[in-house]
A and B are shown apart, each in its own frame.
Chain A
Amino acid sequence: MSTLTVPARAAPLRALASTDHKRVAIGAGAVAFAFFVAGGVLSLIMRSQLAADGGVISQDSYNQLFTMHGSTMVYLFVVPVGLAIGLYFVPLQVGAAEVAGPRVALAGLWLLVFGGLSMWAGFLTSGGAAAASWWGFDPLSDSLHSPGSGMELWIFGVVMATAGQMLWAGCVLVTALRRRAPQMTLLRMPVFTWSMLATCLLVVFAFPALIVALALLWAQRHFGGVLGGGLGAVDYQQLFWFYGHPVVYVMFFPFIGMVGEIVATFSGRRFFGHHAFILALLAFAGLSMTVWAHHMFTMGQATNKYFALTSTALVVPAGIEYLDLLGTLWRGRLRFSAAFLFALGFIVQFLVGGLTGIILASPPLDYGLNMSYFVVAHFHYTIFAGSAFGLFGGIYYWFPKLTGALLRERLGKLQFLLMAIGTNLTFFPMFVLGAEGMTRRIALYPTSTGWQPLNVLATFGALVIALSVLLFLINVWVSLRSREPAGDDPWQGQTLEWATSSPPPRHNFDALPPIRSFAPLLDAREAAQEATARARGDVAEGAPA
């Protein structure tokens, strides 16, 4: 297939309207990261309130903050940033010149921007931002309990951001399925591309439920009677969680794919059990569509036995994926770069989140822990201690490809250390607080409970995390201001993105290497080594004794 590039417009216009998947992805990543910082600031205010046990903000403001913190992190940061990285790297990894539907991808970026601004504009309204949590359950979110424009803006914002994510997922999915280079068969696609494919399947087939739920909620707020009678509010929850649990895996799969690439590269080994990993991913993705009502165990309006069974069954594909990661590390020639450290952090810390998930998958145990800080600790271990570590690993790994410059390794390792300490100081005490009965979403608690010391510890940990993020931003600034040239392949990568220049040209590749496996660059290196060894052998055979 040949490509023809249409001349570009002026630079400021390109920033607004570029259809290059790499520019769209960088724009989306930057927007998502800005929302991450904003959402992080909200969490620091909430943590200050809990450490001081009141006096920092009002209860109503606290409700707005935890709603906007959760909404920002899920709808505007983790999901978009994972998809953005897929949008950048899937076309490169499959040897495509372009993403499928570049205009659609651009539309997704602007939907994220407008959606995010709409959600946050709620703070500017007289009643404040939405305060009905990131799930917006009815009747808490109806016009009686959540009057004002803040909730309306939240609904529109979430719909826009989610629609944008569905557009991106469609683009990435079609690229992986239909735009692969001729030699790139399905089974030769790298683990990251497969993890994005599984992610996009979830986005395309689960996310529409959220848009339906929010449309019903909007109709309920304006016309009434839509969700009010019978099991209406429960049906809203069914629809919401049909989106709300798969989204947890949308916030996991891209990052385990990144970690897979990092582990293989920095172990100097071919990814162990590639085909088993793919099967496990697809089975995992399918199962993750069937577990949503475990969020509703205590409501008495869901098939608890079925959902307990499917939720527990998730450990099988998760176990296979962990086995593959550990198998890749086993006897590898490990290089402890910042990217590799973050990947190891992901493997260890996500395990804590995953294992505590097994506890919550059991209805009798969930009855005791539901709505407690144990649940908060569990999902922060999966999403922050897990996925965010995978994300930073991915950033350290792929930053040279994006910019042509290396991030500073020493600063990266220091950031990892601070983030690992901060994360565990923040979230581990929450397991204890939850087991002791501290309920989530409370702005105040009785002093007699004795929860304050652990809350102070968690708040100190949150400040350490903030410091580590600041260090990362400094690292990006320093590395771009005073560039250490990375070259095309600074890590001895294995997949196709390392076969092109850094950053890649508009059409991605001038020429593709032969693709005979999921690690074509490793194949080429091994072939070259074998040829060298054979040549040496020939010389040795022919040499006089």
Chain B
Amino acid sequence: MRRAAIVLLAWGAWLGVMTAAQAPFRSIKGPFGVHWIEAAMLGGAAATCVLAGLVLWALDARAGERESARVLATDSLATTTLVAGLALALLGAGFGLWLILIGASVAALGAGGLARETRARRRGHRGEGAP
């Protein structure tokens, strides 16, 4: 799996090349010249992609070839609740504090449910590993 990072590193490098390709156009002065935001956005995407590739590389190197058992949860009502809460809170930014508070409460309920699900999953892992 370690080679997976190559995809991100290569693609990030390709974006970097395309950012560098803007350099010859810097000689054009005036409105048709290179604008800082053009180089910043593309260069930023290139750098982020390379960084993501390096993180993936490090993660894969640490994980090695070990593959642990994976628990497949069939549903997660907590996730749905959390997203509903976040959506309401976001809409509250336009419609008032009351909606933000309702949304935050629902989101907190969902986050609590997610914590519970995570604990249950860990217990499930331990249970499977037990003799």
Query: Could you list which residues of chain A lie within 8 angstroms of chain B, going by C-beta atoms?
Result: 1-9, 13-14, 16-20, 97-98, 102-103, 106-107, 110-111, 114-115, 118, 149, 152-153, 155-156, 159-160, 177-178, 180, 185-186, 197, 201, 205-206, 209, 218, 231, 235, 238-239, 242, 282-283, 285-287, 289-290, 293, 300-306, 310, 506-507
Given the complex of chains A and B, what is the CA–CA distance between A16 and B35 in angstroms?
47
Quick check: B72 and A507 within 8 Å, CB to CB? yes
Contacting pair A14 B71 (CB below 8 A):
no
Please state if B74 and A14 are interface contacts (CB–CB under 8 Å).
yes
A17 and B76 within 8 A (CB): yes
Enumerate 30 A-B pairs (CB-CB under 8 Å) in ascending A order.
Answer: A1-B67, A4-B70, A4-B71, A4-B128, A6-B124, A9-B74, A13-B77, A14-B74, A16-B75, A19-B72, A19-B73, A102-B72, A103-B73, A114-B87, A149-B94, A177-B7, A178-B1, A178-B60, A180-B1, A235-B37, A239-B37, A239-B41, A242-B41, A242-B42, A289-B15, A289-B42, A302-B38, A305-B28, A306-B38, A507-B72
Is the Cβ of A4 less than 8 Å from the Cβ of B42? Answer: no
- Which A residues are CB-close (under 8 A) to B1? 177-178, 180
- B75-91 contact mask (Cβ, 8 Å, vs A): 1 or 0: 11101101110010011
Contact indicator per residue, chain B 6-45, by CB within 8 Å of chain A (1) or not (0): 1110110011001001100100100111110110011001
| Contact A209–B11 (Cβ < 8 Å) | no
CB contacts (< 8 Å) of A285 on chain B: these are 11
CB of B50, distance to nearest CB on chain A (Å):
11
Chain B residues closer than 8 Å to A206, beta-carbon distance: 45
Contacts of B37 in A (CB 8 A): 235, 238-239
Residue among B1, B21, B41 with max Cβ neighbours from chain A (10 Å): B41
B114 interface hit (Cβ, 8 Å): yes
A111-B76 in contact (CB<8A): no
Contact indicator A301/B35 (Cβ below 8 Å): yes
Whether A177 contacts B90 by the Cβ 8 Å rule is: no
Contacts of B61 in A (CB 8 A): none
Beyond A110-B80, A159-B90, A286-B11, whether A13 also contacts B75 by CB under 8 A is: yes
- Are A282 and B76 closer than 8 Å at their CB atoms? no
The minimal Cβ–Cβ distance linking B128 to chain A, given in whole angstroms, is: 6
Q: When the two chains form the complex, which single residue of A111, A186, A282, A293 contacts B4, counting CB atoms closer than 8 Å? A: A186
Contact check, B73 vs A152: say whether CB atoms are below 8 A apart: no
CB contact between A306 and one of B25, B124, B128 (< 8 Å): that residue: B25
Return A320 CB to nearest CB of chain B, in Å.
15
B3 beta carbon closer than 8 Å to chain A: yes
**B75 touches which one: A8, A159, A238 (CB < 8 A)?**
A8
B84 near A114: Cβ-Cβ < 8 Å: yes
Tally the A-B contacts, defined by beta carbons under 8 Å.
183
Residue contact B38 to A293, C-beta cutoff 8 Å: yes
- Whether the Cβ atoms of B10 and A3 lie closer than 8 Å is no
A13 to B113, CA, bound (A): 15
Whether A303 pairs with B35 at a CB distance below 8 angstroms is yes
> For residue B8, which residues in chain A have a CB less than 8 angstroms away from its CB?
177, 201
A306 touches B22 (CB 8 A): yes
Asked if B130 is at the interface of the complex by the 8 Å CB criterion, the answer is no
What's the dominant secondary structure at chain B's contact region? helix
| Assembly CA distance A282 to B18 (angstroms) | 13
Contacts of B80 in A (CB 8 A): 16-17, 106, 110
Candidate in B1, B28, B80 with the most chain A CB atoms within 10 angstroms: B80
Task: Tell whether, in the assembled complex, residue B11 and residue A282 are in contact, meaning their CB atoms are under 8 Å apart.
Answer: yes
Contact B34 A110 (CB under 8 A): no
Question: Are B48 and A110 closer than 8 Å at their CB atoms?
Answer: no
Output the least CB separation between B58 and chain A (Å).
13
Residues in A neighbouring B101, C-beta threshold 8 A = none
Cβ-defined contact, A303 with B79, below 8 A? no
Within the complex, which residue of B3, B25, B31, B75 is in contact with A17, where a contact is CB–CB below 8 Å? B75
Chain A residues contacting B14 (CB-CB under 8 Å) are 282-283, 286
B91 nearest CB across to chain A (Å): 5
Contact of B69 among A3, A149, A239 (CB under 8 A): A3
A242 to B7, CA, bound (A): 22
CB-based closest 4 A-B pairs? A114-B87, A177-B4, A152-B94, A110-B83
Once A4-B72, A13-B75, A13-B77 are accepted as A-B contacts, the answer to whether A290 and B42 lie under 8 Å apart by CB is yes
Chain B 50-75 interface residues, beta-carbon cutoff 8 Å to A: 56, 60, 67-75
Chain B residues near A159: list those with CB within 8 A.
Answer: 90
Chain A residues closer than 8 Å to B97, beta-carbon distance: none
Instruction: Write out the residue numbers on chain B whose beta carbons fall within 8 Å of the beta carbon of A6.
Output: 71-74, 124
- Provide the residues of chain B in CB contact with A303, threshold 8 Å: 22, 25, 28, 32-35, 38
